């Protein structure tokens, strides 16, 4: 298992953020097949903790869903950017908090069936209030909630964003 021969790769679309690639592959013991791959930069998400019993969440409109989602701060990596530095940058841009401590807590593949995106998870503490500085196309509302409320929001569907659910569970259930 795991031996895959790439027969052909064709880029069919290249945009500002995504590249759509069509790969023809041959896995051991299987007929040739086609995979449509969305190649995107890797990203970071930050579980920011003003106190050990609280987390920062943001509300942001996500056009693909047609609605405002409750999320942890996150963002894409710039080419060759260190994920830890990206986490520091994204946290301050989106929440107006600078982290005194930024600890890596692992990561996960977002949608490995068709995208290349790997999400690095960080936990931020020792927060100091600065100024929010979102990207020019972002409107963000910042909320601080208890860990208990964050779990309840996952359970009752107020948090539906997969990166937020995964990273909150990864950090808040850590022993």
Give the residue numbers annotated as catalytic, written as ranges: 136
Distances 76 to 42, 101, 114 between C-alpha atoms, Å:
6, 20, 18
Interatomic CA distance for residues 123 and 100, integer angstroms:
11
Interatomic CA distance for residues 6 and 119, integer angstroms:
25
What tokens does 148 get?
Answer: 């208990």
Of 56, 10, 54, residue with least CA distance to 34? 10
Give the DSSP per-residue string, 97-160.
EEEEEEEEEEEEES-TTTB--EEEEEEEEEEEE------TT--EEEEEEEHHHHHHHHHHTS--
Interatomic CA distance for residues 112 and 75, integer angstroms:
18
């Amino acid at each position: 298992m795991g031996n895959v021969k790439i027969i052909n790769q064709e880029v069919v679309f290249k945009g500002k953020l995504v590249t759509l690639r069509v790969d023809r592959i041959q896995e051991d013991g299987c007929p040739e097949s086609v995979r449509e791959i969305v190649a995107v930069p890797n990203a970071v998400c930050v579980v920011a903790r003003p106190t050990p019993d609280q987390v920062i969440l943001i509300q942001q409109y996500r056009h693909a869903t047609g609605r405002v989602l409750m999320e942890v701060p996150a963002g894409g990596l710039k080419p060759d950017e260190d994920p830890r530095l990206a986490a520091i940058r994204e946290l301050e841009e989106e929440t107006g908090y600078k982290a005194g401590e930024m600890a890596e807590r692992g990561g996960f593949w977002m949608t490995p069936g068709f995208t290349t995106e790997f999400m690095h998870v960080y936990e931020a503490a020792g927060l100091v209030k600065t100024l929010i500085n979102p990207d020019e196309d972002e409107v963000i509302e910042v909320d601080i909630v208890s860990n208990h409320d964050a779990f309840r929001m996952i359970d009752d569907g107020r948090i539906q964003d997969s990166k937020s659910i995964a990273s909150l569970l990864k950090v808040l259930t850590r022993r």
